[in-house]
A and B are shown apart, each in its own frame.
Chain A
Amino acid sequence: MLAPPGASFALFLRSFMSGVILQAINGISLAALLFLLASGFTLTFGLMRVVNMAYGAYYLLGGYIGYSVARRTGSFELAILCGGLTIVVLGFFVDRFLIRPIGHNHLAQVLLTVGVAFVIGEVCLAIWGGDNLRVAIPPWLRGGMELPGGLFYPKYRLALIVLGTSTAILLWLLYHKTHIGAVVRAGVDDREMVNATGINVDRLFALVSALASFLAGLAGVVGGAFLTLNPGAEWDILVLALVVVIVGGLGSLEGAILGSIIVGLLDAYGRWLLPEFSYFVLFGPMAVLLLFRATGIFGKEQ
């Protein structure tokens, strides 16, 4: 029996609206993940003028390590810790022995860190193979929960939004409300001045770098639970993180927050509405933005 046309339109509208909301949450949860990666990248650039293209590989390696630790011990928390700390150590060696000798030459940094990423990628391939792997979600985060309005949504992604938001708040507070944050901000604005005030700039850099590395490894474990870990994933996530920092402006924490949200939402809606051209939806606005503001929304003139 045919339903009256009005009713089917109402049905369509309702399912469209729930699609819109669903994709919004998808987008925000991806934004949370991207923020974890992009914030480290942007602060490292802002403070140390280092472009590190190995961040995607850090994400992947951290994720794989978290995967293995979670399988071995069943502890998600331990997985995050191990994933994060491994990258802190790796990042330290890469910074000290590979990146530091080449100074501020961005081209050299890009090439070198791409090389590092290639090596890390192959090591991961050798150890974990080419299959799609997923980090096991801890039992208390499995399944879905009901949202107001009758939507059913995976608990894990909501937890991710909480994690991303609290990290953003924490970083923001650290950056704007603490003494160390003030020093970092001063360093982003004028490195020479910080040098001149006698603050141990090397140690400052190492600290920020370590934090960024930890976030990358953390992002890998956390992301590896709902996005797959596989060869090539390091570049997929890196490109998204790069668009975040381009749109938000290199060196800006606020930019990383805003950029993550924009990119996350564009990705989610793009995949939903125009799956074959989702990259256009993603990069189109970025290109248009750059035509008008070549350094991103919050970026500083170089």
Chain B
Amino acid sequence: MTARVLLLVAALAIAAALPSLVGEFWVTLLTQIMIFGLLALSADLLLGHAGLFSLCHAAFFAVAAYTTAILQVRHGVSTALAAPAGILAGTILSFVFAFAVRTRGVYFILITLAFGYIIWGVAYRWASFTGGDNGVTNVPFPAIGGLRVAGPTQYYYVVLVAVVLIALAYRVLITSPFGLTLRGIKSSESRMRSLGYDVGSHLYVAFVLSGLIASIAGVLYVYYNRFINPVAASFPVSVEAVLMAIVGGTGTILGPFLGSGIILVLRNWVSGFFHYYTAVLGIVFIVTVLFAPQGIMGLVARWRAGNRGEGA
């Protein structure tokens, strides 16, 4: 166990030292990786622990981002208020969409897909409020009290700290009894019911918590990108978040971030020489599903089990 702790501390130290070792390109890419890793983590709370495949997390992400952006840009609201407001807005939406947990399996997938579309549709068509296709631009860097983020490197640290704190809280959540109940539901819902659990209310709470995390990712995103448009609410963003969790390894904390790293680095590299990057992403979907459904962390676990001489 202490080996793991040391490894994590070392990783954190490297992460902290990184901006002074690599150029701005990598700093901004890593910031993006952390933000989308967080979005993937939010989707994975439902997928990896409760067994629900949600396709609407981009909606919470985008609503939070738009709220913060509109407040800062059009109404001059300061970060201290705009950021929490964004998180709140996204979370309130998740309270509404959480009714999807009345369904299961493929119905849940389809309904969350449709929910995600509602928000994308509103972002796109309610142009008088959201700016439509053009979105909201010129979002300033965050500033609280006297502290002002001056550039990408400082923002990288803001995101790093936020992500580490959330990851720690997430760890507490999934190792708690509540986290165990989610895994129980995923394993056998009928057994849970016969043990007295109101499965629906547990899933509802889990959904709202995951919406909260996605909203935080959205607010972090809008200060990173300094711009928000309907694409952030689109279906590809939701489905990519799930893919990141799967590629990295669902049910883990590191997995979604690993997956985010792989997908985003791949995108950056491929789009440099191949215009049709989305086709490559599609192939990643297909290959992952057919050959590596447990993701990277799954492969690591199997390798470790193999090394220890256990059955895989």
A–B direct touch, CB within 8 Å, in complex? yes
Residues of A within 8 A of B (CB): 45, 51, 98, 101-102, 106-108, 110-112, 114-119, 121-123, 125-126, 235, 239, 242-243, 245-246, 250, 275-280, 283, 286-287, 290-291, 294-296, 302
List residues of chain A with CB within 8 A of the CB of B102: 290-291, 294
List residues of chain B with CB within 8 A of the CB of A277: 122, 125-126
**B288 touches A (CB below 8 Å):** yes
Is the Cβ of A114 less than 8 Å from the Cβ of B126?
no
**B293 touches A (CB below 8 Å):** yes
Is the Cβ of B109 less than 8 Å from the Cβ of A250?
no
Distance in Å from the Cβ of B51 to the closest Cβ of chain A?
Answer: 9
Compute how far the CA of A295 lies from the CA of B281 in the bound complex, rounded to whole angstroms: 32
**B58 touches A (CB below 8 Å):** no
Is the Cβ of A118 less than 8 Å from the Cβ of B122?
no
Given A51-B109, A118-B281, A239-B113, CB of A276 within 8 Å of CB of B128: yes
**B117 touches A (CB below 8 Å):** yes
SS class, residues of chain A in contact with chain B: helix
Which partner residue on chain B sits nearest A112 by CB separation? Answer: B289
SS class, residues of chain B in contact with chain A: helix
Select B121's contact among A278, A294, A295, A296, beta carbons within 8 Å.
A278
Compute how far the CA of A114 lies from the CA of B196 in the bound complex, rounded to whole angstroms: 38
List residues of chain B with CB within 8 A of the CB of A279: 117-118, 120-122, 125
The stretch of B217-225, B238-246, B257-265 that contacts the partner chain = B238-246
Is the Cβ of A302 less than 8 Å from the Cβ of B239?
no
Is the Cβ of B283 less than 8 Å from the Cβ of A111?
no
Compute how far the CA of A278 lies from the CA of B126 in the bound complex, rounded to whole angstroms: 10
Distance in Å from the Cβ of A53 to the closest Cβ of chain B?
Answer: 9
11 A-B pairs (CB sep. < 8 Å): A102-B290, A110-B109, A111-B285, A112-B290, A115-B283, A118-B278, A235-B235, A242-B110, A277-B122, A290-B102, A295-B107
Is the Cβ of A115 less than 8 Å from the Cβ of B109?
no
Which partner residue on chain A sits nearest B53 by CB separation? Answer: A107
Compute how far the CA of A235 lies from the CA of B100 in the bound complex, rounded to whole angstroms: 21
Which partner residue on chain A sits nearest B236 by CB separation? Answer: A118
**B254 touches A (CB below 8 Å):** no
Given A102-B290, A121-B278, A276-B122, CB of A246 within 8 Å of CB of B107: yes
B261-307 at interface with A (beta carbon < 8 Å): 275-276, 278-279, 281-286, 288-290, 293
Is the Cβ of A290 less than 8 Å from the Cβ of B103?
yes
**B111 touches A (CB below 8 Å):** yes
The digit string for B20-64, where 1 denotes a CB below 8 A from any CB of A, is 000000000000000000000000000100000100000000000
B107-137 at interface with A (beta carbon < 8 Å): 107, 109-111, 113-115, 117-118, 120-122, 125-128
Which partner residue on chain B sits nearest A106 by CB separation? Answer: B106
Select A115's contact among B104, B126, B285, beta carbons within 8 Å.
B285
Compute how far the CA of A296 lies from the CA of B108 in the bound complex, rounded to whole angstroms: 12
**B157 touches A (CB below 8 Å):** no
List residues of chain A with CB within 8 A of the CB of B53: 106-107, 110
List residues of chain B with CB within 8 A of the CB of A115: 281-286, 289
